[in-house]
Structure 1
């Protein structure tokens, strides 16, 4: 039940991102500025089609990679985990519950990642709507800070969960 909310939100983020890609495709120039220097000026380009393919694949795979890693860690030996109360949480009777928590909790991080990628896409789109293209650095820095805060929250709640011995 706990995983239902982030799973639904992640699915909505994926669908929203795909709709956004299709809805804004025609607004992109044929040559899209995709990399920007410290001043927000473009120094790397892609064709529109390559950029849309890259963003679509990256926007789907980056969050999926997070969930996939958190699924696959169940196959690692107990000794490879550095976590509070490892003996308690990795005991055979609690091991399935522990890995279920990892997987459920990874859905939140995947949601943060999907939202971050979508926001970066929108920033690149906005940069390409101006002539000459210029990336707004403040929104970029704020989005990076928000993602890092989300990552921090995710890590802290993960550690807090495993500090408790139920």
Structure 2
């Protein structure tokens, strides 16, 4: 769990620093949304864009990690993990909940990393005249995010819950 929490904190710090470092590079009216052809179709003020980006990343992190933290308040019958009886035994229950929370933190960190990359792509798009998003790069970022997310799920998947020796 400590590694996942550190990754999330690092991702949010990176996002905050990248927004601070690039804030003055953006025009007063920022192209914030782009159509499939890379043409802008949504706009916001520079400060509204930064506020929305940072607050959205924080909210998404809470929505990713929060419910998995709160599983400790659920009845055991509502928790669906491999080898549930083993992992939710009183002597291992805390570890099981820590693993679930770490999964949420990992998902949140990966998603915040996507926010960082999309922000940098948005900055680059707004530096072009006229503003234009490199759609191939945007799709590449999404594909990379999905691969990283797949890695998070693989790391926390059934293999991680396997019980080798019950003695």
State the partner residue of 1:114.
112
Contact 2:71 2:79 (C-alpha < 8 Å) held by counterparts: no
Contact 2:122 2:133 (C-alpha < 8 Å) held by counterparts: yes
Q: Helix, strand or coil for the counterpart of 2:82?
A: coil
Tell me which of 23, 26, 42 is aligned to 1:25. Answer: 23
Contact 1:21 1:52 (C-alpha < 8 Å) held by counterparts: yes
Contact 1:120 1:140 (C-alpha < 8 Å) held by counterparts: yes
What TM-score results when the alignment is normalised by the length of structure 1?
A: 0.89
State the partner residue of 2:37.
39
Q: Which runs of 5+ in 1 are unaligned?
A: none
What TM-score results when the alignment is normalised by the length of structure 2?
A: 0.89
Aligned positions, number: 164
State the partner residue of 1:129.
127
CA RMSD of aligned residues (A): 1.7
Q: How does 1:10-159 map to 2 (within 5 A)?
A: 10-158=8-156, 159=158
1:4 to 1:92, Cα distance in 2 relative to 1, 3 A: closer
Which whole-Å CA distance do the structure 2 matches of 1:83 and 1:11 have between them? 27
Cα shift at 1:14: 1.8
Cα shift at 1:118: 0.6
State the partner residue of 2:7.
9
